[in-house]
Amino acid sequence: MIRTLMTAQQLYEKLKDIKLGASVCQYSLKKCEELIPLINEINELKEEQNAVILTHSYISPEIIYGVSDFVGDSYKLSKDALTTSAQTIVFVAVRFMGETAKILNPEKEVLIPATLDGCTLADSINAAQVRALRKEYPGYTFVCYINTTAQVKAECDVCVTSSNVYTIVANIPNDKIYFLPDKYMGENLRNHFKRRGLNKDIQYYNGVCYVHEEYTIEDILKIRLEYPDAKIVSHPECNSTVVDNSDFVGSTEQMLKFIRGTKAQEFLMLTECGLSSRLQAEFPDKKLVGSCTMCKYMKSNTLENILRVLKNPTDADRVVLGEGIRLRALKSIEAMFFYNK
């Protein structure tokens, strides 16, 4: 028996300040009344089945505020996946994040409700390509972004996320680094070490995030003219001109922390719309200016599909990894925890 059921009014109180983006991202009391039976059914099933829901910040607000147990960036969620005692993890994000949870928790069932399977970064490189690059770059430490498949992680030495990439690369005792697959993060990494006067030879692959690739310096200049006090906040998946002209650069969780800790009132968020919605819900007095971009993979997660995977999971919904690949991918994730200090 579930402890507390949510009412439509309680849900509406959490979502009413979200105003940015398309009408699907805005909430009336009537819309909350329509959503609440589904939300309560999921919450009841979750409890019955000893399941938890881990949700990335880019996901639709009715999922974040209606059914999620943990919300955050890819690093925080990988730590959360380690701490839960639940038998089933529903990973509401994209497949590579669910795979990371499975690599860390082989005995748990990990379910993925996204109906559009992908991420332009994770899809940009495969294991055979990494093996070929390793032959081309002998003596380099291969650092992979968490936005990669388990097979690619298994071919690399150290995994990183947007929240720890600079710290980890600084701590790796090798000056020769091959970073994959994001070319913009690679470029940002190279610039970062050059600015600090640190001697790191950083080579990188040519993948991109199609959401963050859209942002340009023109977006920043336009906002600076109209809102001179606005803080420009960007993700390291943006190109280097955008990053170099931002007031703050970090993972989705770090952006939230920055906004929580500053007295500034106006922000241009150069990242996926879900984070902007989260900001509006949690900081209704702060003003977001400009627009945002949606990730079709993240936004393919729906309440309906969360309910379906809890009730009736198919083989395609389950993360299944061969033990050999899992153990090799685990090494690169453990190396991330080791060097993140």
Q: Does 252 bind ligand 13P (CB under 6 A)?
A: yes
Q: Which of the stretches 17-25, 44-52, 69-77, 216-224 binds ligand 13P when contact is defined by CB under 6 A?
A: 69-77
The one-letter amino acid code at 109 reads E
Q: CA separation (Å) from 340 to 27, 159, 164, 167, 214?
A: 39, 10, 7, 6, 30
The 3-state DSSP class for residue 290 equals coil
Are residues 308 and 66 in contact, defined by beta-carbon separation less than 8 angstroms?
no
Given a contact cutoff of 8 angstroms between Cβ atoms, the answer to whether 262 and 243 are in contact is: no
Q: Considering only CA atoms, which of 40, 56, 58 is closest in space to residue 294?
A: 58
Tokens of 201: 């030879």
CB of 147 to ligand SF4, least distance (A): 5
Least separation in angstroms between CB 21 and ligand SF4: 15
233 binds ligand SF4 (CB under 6 A): no
Q: How far is residue 92 from each of residues 36, 59, 85, measured CA to CA in Å?
A: 18, 7, 18
Does 237 bind ligand 13P (CB under 6 A)? Our answer is: yes
Determine, following the binding rule CB under 6 A, whether residue 251 of this chain makes contact with ligand 13P: yes
**Smallest gap from residue 96 Cβ to ligand 13P (A):** 8
Among 124, 162, 239, 276, binds ligand 13P (CB under 6 A): 162
Q: Compute how many residues bind ligand SF4; rule: CB under 6 A.
A: 13
* Cα 147 to Cα 159: distance, rounded to the nearest angstrom: 9
Does the footprint of ligand SF4 cover residue 297 (CB under 6 A)? yes
Reduced to 3 states, what is the DSSP secondary structure of residue 287?
strand
Q: Is 189 helix (H, G, I), strand (E, B) or coil?
A: helix
Distance separating alpha carbons of residues 43 and 316, to the nearest angstrom:
23
Single out the segment in contact with ligand 13P by CB under 6 A; choices: 73-81, 170-178, 185-193, 322-330. 73-81
In angstroms, what CA-CA distances link 246 with 78, 180, 195, 256? 27, 23, 16, 15
Closer CB to ligand SF4, 39 or 112, in the complex:
112
Distances (CA, A) of 297 to 25, 52, 265: 16, 21, 31
Scan residues 168-197 and list those touching ligand 13P (CB under 6 A). none
> Within 201-230, which residues bind ligand SF4 (CB under 6 A)?
209-211
In whole angstroms, how close is the CB of 120 to ligand SF4 at the nearest point? 5
Under the binding rule (CB under 6 A), the answer on residue 78 touching ligand SF4 is: no
Closest CA to 90 of 38, 151, 46, 40: 46
Stretch near ligand SF4 under the rule CB under 6 A, chosen from 18-26, 40-48, 249-257, 293-301: 293-301
Q: Find which of ligand 13P, ligand SF4, none residue 169 binds, CB within 5 to 8 Å per kind.
A: none
CA distances to 35, 39, 106 from 28, in Å: 11, 16, 41
Stretch that binds ligand 13P, among 17-25, 35-43, 71-79, 124-132 (CB under 6 A): 71-79
Interface with ligand SF4 (CB under 6 A): 94, 119-121, 147, 209-211, 237, 272, 295, 297-298
Interface with ligand 13P (CB under 6 A): 73-75, 147, 161-162, 209, 235, 237, 251-252
